[in-house]
Structure 1
Amino acid sequence: MSEIQRNTPLISQLLDTWIKGETSEEYTLANYANAAAIIFQNVSAVNWAGFYLYHSETNTLALGPFLGKPATALITPEKGVVGKAFTTQETIVVPDVRAFSGHIVCDVDSNAEIVIPITTANGQKIGVLDIDSTELSRFGKQEQTDLEHFVQTLLQYVNAI
């Protein structure tokens, strides 16, 4: 095993292997869908995993591929955890969603959330990865690091929609 593989989170390795195995490198929507499925199936205590993708014409984040209960279709920047993470371009970890002012409730069973911005190396804001859990304080520093790496891996295979 190479040094790079040893230091790459398993979840990122799964994504990279799946996309290459499917030879879907050029199929952005399919890659977002499989990325959501990989998280949903391989990260414990997750009840929603998916993407909100930015549309500059309408200045909204539109619901993209996801797994979980139905969710809010459109979110404006700065609204809720999704909008705030997109606007600040920083990962937001919320240990208890009920304590986050302005949290947008889609599933009453969700208790914790992590939202990671998806931004290209040249600064183009694509959207966010949003993950919810039924467990309070579900997402720690290691999950944050692993999921940020996952987004960087995904960026190799997606374009703005």
Structure 2
Amino acid sequence: MDLHNSEGMLEQLAALIRDWDGSVPRRYCHLANASALLAEHLGDINWVGFYLVDDSGQNLMLGPFQGKVACTDIPFSRGVCGLCARTGKSVRVDDVHAFADHIACDSASNSEVVAPLVDAKGRVVGVLDVDSPTLSRFTLEDQKLLDDAAKIISQLLYS
């Protein structure tokens, strides 16, 4: 990740989604563009996208993404995305194969960062998920950048 240009990427992200009209279809358009922007900006990744809380409030459902075919449903009780959804805190995993109860949607993924999307009432409404084929790919700085991206998305699309 080019951390020297991270501030510019966050500004571009905000500009891309700032004009949201409040509709669900437009929210999905903006999430699709956000995943495309992140895929362009992030290096050495094989998947970036969103899982959104379904109507039950207990599962995540596949949303807009860039990458290979993905798992469609993830219960809050399982995996890295589920842990993030349960706790409302970002999770960085250096080796997903050593993570208890990891869900292997793509066997090429070796490390992962997941950041929560939170609405104006403080409820987790989804997660931003990024996978890499490289072990220990993500740094604390990367995690902070993705937390910041998730906060921008949360503020502009879920408040």
Q: TM-score range by the shorter chain?
A: 0.7 to 0.9
State the distance in 1 between where 2:148 and 2:158 align: 17
**Once the 2 structures are TM-superposed, how far is the Cα of residue 153 of structure 1 from its aligned partner?**
1.0
TM-score for both structures, normalised by structure 2: 0.87
Pair 16,58 (structure 1): closer, same or farther in 2 beyond 3 Å: closer
Query: Structure 2 CA distance, aligned partners of 1:78 and 1:139?
Result: 24
Distance in 2 separating the partners of 1:31 and 1:50: 12
Q: Is residue 61–residue 75 contact of structure 1 (8 Å, CA) maintained in 2?
A: yes
Which residue in the other structure is 2:153 paired with? Answer: 154
**Deviation >4 Å, runs of 4+:** none
Deviation at 1:47, TM superposition (A): 0.5
Q: Report the equivalent of 2:9.
A: 11
- 1:72 maps to which residue? 71
The alpha carbon displacement at 1:25 in A equals 5.1
- Asked if 1:89 corresponds to 2:81, the answer is no
| Partner of residue 29, structure 2 | 30
Asked if residue 43 in structure 1 is aligned to residue 54 in structure 2, the reply is no
CA contact (8 A) 2:16 2:30 kept: no
- Over the aligned positions, Cα root-mean-square deviation in angstroms equals 1.8
Structure 1 residues 109 and 118: CA distance shift in structure 2, 3 A: same
| Percent of aligned pairs with the same amino acid | 36
Report the Cα offset of residue 24 of structure 1: 4.3
Q: Deviations over 1:129-151 (max 9, x none)?
A: 10000111111111111111111
Quote the Cα distance in structure 2 between the aligned partners of 1:153 and 1:159: 10
2: distance between equivalents of 1:64 and 1:97? Answer: 21
Q: Which amino acid aligns with 2:9?
A: I
Q: Which runs of 5+ in 1 are unaligned?
A: 1-7
Aligned mates of 1:78, 1:84 — CA distance in 2: 7
Number of residue pairs aligned between Structure 1 and Structure 2: 151
5+ residue gaps, structure 2, are 1-5
- TM normalised by structure 1 equals 0.86
Counterpart-to-counterpart distance in 2, 1:115 and 1:68: 16
Q: Is the 8 A contact 1:71 1:106 kept in 2?
A: yes
- Look up the equivalent residue of 2:48 and give its one-letter code: A
